[in-house]
Each structure stands twice: as C-alpha cells, then as structure tokens.
C-alpha cells in the first residue's frame, strides 16, 4: 500500500469559498488599516524600570499584547453604529486553540447566510531582525483534521508588525512603554505557496510553519490539494515516512478505514 492507493476521505469546499475568503481578508485588513490611520494602534505599558521596556527581549512578550489589541479592534466594530464591515460576532479563543479569534460576517450566499473565519494573530517586531519571521501556526494533525470536519474552514493568518519605544510620563515620572502596530497582512493559509509552508517535526505530530511571514506568495488550490500538500510535507520530513502517516490517518479518520480509530489528538 502507498499514498496514491489510499482510500481517502476527500473534502470538497463550497463553490463560493474563494469569494468568501477574499471577503474576510479584505474586511480584516480594512479594520486594521482604519485603526492605524485613526491612531488606535498604540498599546501603552507602564513600568517603573528606569530604562523602560527591555528591548532585546520585547519579542518574547509582544504576542499576547498584540493578540489582545487585535481582538479589541474587532470588538470595537460591533459597537460601531456605522458597521460597514457587516461583522456580527467576535469571540476570543482559549490559549490552546488553533486560532486566537473567531469572526463572523453577515453576507448573503447561495446556500446560507454568513461567513465564519478563524484568525491566528502573529506579531513580528519591525526593529528586531528575524523576530517572528518563521512562526509556528498549528499542529499538523489538528489543521489536517479540521479540513476533514469542515471543508469550508477559513483559517486566516493575521501578521501584525510592531515597533516598541519608551517615553517618560511627565505626570507619574515613570516610563511608558509604547507598542505600536505599524503594518499588517492577512493570508488564507490554504492559499499560501507550497514553498512558504514548512513542517517542523518537533512536538506531537509536528508543527506547520511559515518560512518567512514577511514575504509570502499566494497559490490558489482546493482544500483537497491543500490536505495532500500537508501530507507530503509530513511524509518527506526526516523523522517520518508513509507508515507513520498511515497510522495518523487511521487514528484521525482521514481515510475510509474503521480500524484503529482514536479521538484524542496530540
């Protein structure tokens, strides 16, 4: 038995998937753009450290701040009476979920009303070389299984670039650390070029990574083509082969086989 002879469960997305994905990305980028243009892009961190925030390690603490900032910008839209983005729900996710925020947009479609997107927020420092350049996205088994369960899954990578500086607060006499979002890009992970997606075998079933989040190319493909791409990167890794993949495929029910089925993911 080999990969090509396997009896797969083949996911098929809706005819308007690409249109919905483009709609989500356009609105996400417009919301972030508006926040930057209106000066709503600063996070102020008060500290009594005389030299302000430790700049050499700022990338280690930036992620949670940037994620919280992004969530609040989306939540602000819900309270805006002039909500031109038709954003109708924003939900923060728990730490171990594959995404940070769930967004729901109101949009008339052929079969149903509305679009749901899962957004993974990634922070990179503009002033620190290679900061956040190759982020982990999610577990291979988790994202592979997610597309089997929901072929219309829209999983967006929101890359937010920031700079950090300190200034003395004339009222308190303490240092204010300013974390300022200065640039953004949103991508549908399913449409990233094959060369931009890498596989790191460390931790559980391995992590899907982006080689360089600052420079990516778009390559449109179907959800089934994306699943095959993920599989090939797993099998081609130095620590795995087809037999390892087959064990996972049975465990997570990616193939038409009722044997050795387990529900727990690593």
Q: pLDDT digits over 79-95, tens only?
A: 988 889 999 999 999 87
Rounded to whole angstroms, the Cα distance separating 215 from 196 reads: 8
pLDDT tens-digit map of 124-145 = 887 666 665 788 899 999 999 9
Cβ contact 100:70 at 8 Å: yes
Please name which of 167, 168, 146, 166 lies closest in space to residue 155, comparing C-alpha atoms.
Answer: 146
pTM of the model: 0.89
In DSSP terms, 156 is beta-bridged to 119, 188
Among 18-32, 38-52, 198-212, 226-240, the least confident range: 38-52
Cβ contact 261:253 at 8 Å: yes
Contacts of 196 (CB under 8 A, 6+ apart): 210, 211, 212, 216, 217
Does 226 score more than 60 pLDDT? yes
């Amino acid at each position: 038995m080999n990969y090509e002879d396997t009896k797969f469960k083949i996911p098929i997305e809706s005819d308007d998937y690409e249109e919905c994905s483009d709609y989500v990305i356009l609105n996400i980028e417009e919301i972030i753009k508006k926040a930057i243009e209106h000066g709503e892009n600063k996070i102020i961190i008060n500290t009594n450290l005389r030299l302000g925030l430790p700049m050499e390690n700022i990338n280690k603490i930036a992620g949670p701040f940037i994620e919280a900032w992004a969530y609040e910008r989306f939540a602000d839209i819900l309270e805006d009476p002039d909500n031109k983005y038709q954003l109708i729900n924003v939900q923060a996710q728990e730490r171990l979920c594959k995404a940070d925020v769930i967004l729901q947009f109101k949009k008339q479609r052929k079969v149903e009303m509305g679009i749901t997107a899962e957004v993974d927020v990634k922070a990179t420092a503009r002033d620190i070389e290679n900061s956040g350049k190759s982020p982990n996205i999610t577990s291979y088994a988790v994202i592979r299984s997610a597309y089997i369960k929901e072929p219309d899954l829209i999983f967006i990578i929101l890359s937010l670039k920031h700079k950090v500086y300190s200034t003395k607060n004339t009222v308190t006499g303490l240092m204010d650390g300013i974390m300022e979002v200065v640039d953004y890009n949103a991508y549908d992970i399913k449409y990233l070029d094959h060369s931009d997606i890498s596989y790191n075998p460390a931790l559980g079933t391995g992590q899907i990574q982006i080689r360089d989040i600052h420079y990516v190319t778009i390559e449109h493909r179907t959800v089934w083509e994306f699943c095959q791409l993920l599989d090939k990167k797993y099998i081609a890794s130095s620590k795995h082969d087809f037999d390892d993949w087959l064990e996972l495929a049975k465990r997570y029910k990616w193939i038409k086989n009722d044997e050795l089925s387990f529900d727990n993911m690593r």
